[in-house]
Amino acid sequence: MKEKKPIDPRLLANPFTYSDLVQYQDGSIVSRTIIDKEEGTITVFAFDLGQRLSTHSAPFDALVEIVDGKGVINIEGKDFHLGKGEQIIMPANKAHSVRAEERFKMVLVMIRSIQPQDR
């Protein structure tokens, strides 16, 4: 089991916006995990124009919320063009990818499900 990181104490009991937690960097994807627990993670990403996460899948559902700009989420070959304030759930075990046709920031919330063998 991987070691989980503690929550940044500057974020505990202090207001913040997701968009302020990561800054755009030319030619890069910047990420910051703000909660990393056995039960799940919350990570904020900033994608520069043209950046992408290649097609992959995960064994649990994941919620994406766009917090700045516009991004393209592809789920099983279908593109979803999302803008600020929009969300989508990427189903567990389904191929998905992310790409930036313009700069954008997103929050990724992953909640791990209890599998039948874990009960």
For the chain, domain boundaries = 18-107
- The confidence score (pLDDT) of residue 119 equals 47
DSSP annotation of 60 reads S
Contact 45, 19 (CB under 8 A): no
* Cα distance between residue 37 and residue 28, in whole Å: 26
Provide the pLDDT for residue 26: 98
pLDDT digit string, tens, across residues 7-66: 888 898 999 999 999 999 999 999 999 999 988 999 999 999 999 999 999 988 999 999
Domain 18-107 has CATH 2.60.120.10: yes
H and E: helices and strands count for the chain: 1, 8
